[in-house]
A and B are shown apart, each in its own frame.
Chain A
Amino acid sequence: MKKITLVALMVGTLAISACSQDRFNAADAANSGANAGGVNDPTSAAYFNQSIGDRVLFEVDQSTLNPQAEAVLAQQAQWLSSNQAYSAIIEGHADEQGTREYNVALGARRASAVQSYLIERGVAPNRLKTVSYGKERPLAICSDESCYAQNRRAVTVLTTGAGT
């Protein structure tokens, strides 16, 4: 029993000292403002994330892009075309109403739908990668539709550097 308790305490400590994932979004959102690199600088990631919108939402169990999503993605494509220094990882996500493996596959469909649209709009395929987190990384944590709707998303996460 002592052994088990000790290990459990270590987990607690790890959780407290957990660092957030190293993402361009998080770093840039923090210094949004009028300066270069801020939200008013149209070449900045902060501008992309906030003024254009880095994400699109989906209906339950769907990966079809609605007109609203297409409008956002059209602007994303345009921005990526004028800001060649950036590449992107498109993250697909699902809400918690579903089994784990299926949701990973569903998130992959969503990410791929966004990727295909951006490529159609002229973004070079080698600048776009996809990853699915399924239901593993919800944004909103309540268990009703108001949260689920925010979690059924695909997020275009900017990265610096040319594509591969």
Chain B
Amino acid sequence: MTMNKLLAYALALLALAPVLSATPAQAQQGPLRIEITEGVIEPLPFAVPTFQAETGGAGAYAEEISRVIAADLSGTGLFREIPSSAFISNVTNFASPIQYADWKAVNAQALITGAVAESGGQITVKFRVYDVVSGAELGQGLQFTGTADGIRRIAHKVADTVYSRITGESGYFDSRVVFVSESGPKNARRKRIAVMDYDGANVKYLTDAESLVFAPRFSPDGTRVLYTSYETGQPQIFVLEVGSAQRRSLGTGGGNMAFSPRFSPDGQAIIFSLEQGGNSDIYRMDVNGGSIQQLTSSPAIETAPSFSPDGSRIVFESDRSGTQQLYVMSANGGEAQRISFGPGRYGTPVWSPRGDLVAFTKQNSGRFHIGVMRTDGSEERLLTASFLDEGPTWAPNGRVIMFTRESQGADGAPGLYSVDISGRNLRRVPTPDAASDPSWGPLQN
């Protein structure tokens, strides 16, 4: 498959070049600022008048780009879109001065204006962000250029810029998620590795449904995916190139079962579980082959390892205490500290990209939860509860978690959901079929 190439060509990005003879960027300390804390309950109202079409063929693009930007911002739960039906004035010329009073009157606090031009297959999008309350531009005007099939990415870039200017944190809209697409009845599920935009758009399949697969994991640079496949009859670890969908076995298992792989932060090593004589331990190996290093050695189940972002430590689950619990050890193995102590069982820990938190699945009293705790186990917070929630993955900015939620019963099926780490803004991520095991990739370049 060539979809990654397509995307790469699609977006010959003019790297955030300020091209407009705009007022210089101001270090804005005014009221247009969302501090993302537990306390944010009231989303910030914003308006995105449909971007101006500056050339004949650009109208449809302008419409779609404006809708994607609005959906990205609203989808965070931190922003609320003011519908265009409420607008008093409209923006008819990207260069005209803003009528702040008209936007204040409809209670918009942020205003995003833009213009789209199409020329020889190239789409150019210019935009500006305004702080309506202060009556000033927020940052400088920017433009992005790409081809028509990359316009959703351009829109995500614009929304990331707006999010970043208003929250002070990096965005996550121009990112992709690799996951397992599922079809068929519960006792004969067919599973394929698939990749999509973070919002469920642009689904592409990376494997066929011939072999059972699970738990794909993006490489830190988003170009490769580790996953477990039964292609050989035994669970074994494969790596595939997202761009070409070429796959190869990592030869990790020999005759034994190998599963639950993850990349190191530099993408050079993998950590995974290897089963021998019924017992699963955690191992590390170079992704290009080479010797295998054993990191845990106990008769307990040790699995689901995840590196800290600096690569120095590994969080994993073990039932060495009698039930599944979370432990942290050095990246070279050795003694491990237990960090989960609440009631119930804890599994599938994932270190946050900021390094401050561990997300996990918790089972207690017949319910499943997605939760987060500090890396020493303190400040545990459960974000969700259902019949079966599992397998959290972090947005690249560490603000949002995506996970699998499976419904109950003979017709039960999994779907993908996202939730803010505050526990608010639970949303279903649309997928064409049932879906599980999301792994959120990096912010794209």
Contacts and interface: CB of A to CB of B under 8 A. Distances in A.
Interface of A: 3-5, 7-8, 11-12, 14-15, 18, 20, 61, 63, 89, 96-102, 104-106, 108-113, 115-116, 130-133, 136-143
A108 B280 contact: yes
A16 B280 CA distance: 36
B187 A141 contact: yes
A152 B340 CA distance: 27
The contact size tier of chain B is: 35 or more
A160 B268 CA distance: 42
Contacts of B273: 101, 104-105
Given A100-B437, A142-B410, 12 more contacts: A4-B203, A12-B183, A97-B363, A101-B273, A101-B348, A102-B319, A104-B228, A104-B257, A111-B278, A131-B233, A138-B187, A140-B187
A63 B280 CA distance: 14
Nearest to A132: B257
Top 4 closest pairs, chain A to chain B, by CB = A112-B278, A8-B432, A99-B347, A105-B280
Nearest to B191: A136
A102 B324 contact: yes
B301 interface: yes
Interface in B303-342: 303-304, 317, 319, 323-324
A104 B235 contact: yes
B293 interface: no
Contacts of B388: 96-97
Contact of A137 (B187, B209, B412): B187
B259 A104 contact: yes
5 contacts: A102-B304, A104-B259, A106-B301, A138-B187, A141-B412
A105 B433 CA distance: 27
A133 B187 CA distance: 12
Interface string B199-216: 001111100110010110
B409 interface: yes
A31 B308 CA distance: 55
A101 B347 contact: yes
Contacts of A96: 388, 406
Contacts of B324: 99, 102
B301 A105 contact: yes
Contacts of B28: none
Nearest to A142: B410
Given A101-B273, A108-B257, A11 B348 contact: no
B297 to A, nearest CB: 15
B214 A136 contact: yes
A143 B367 CA distance: 13
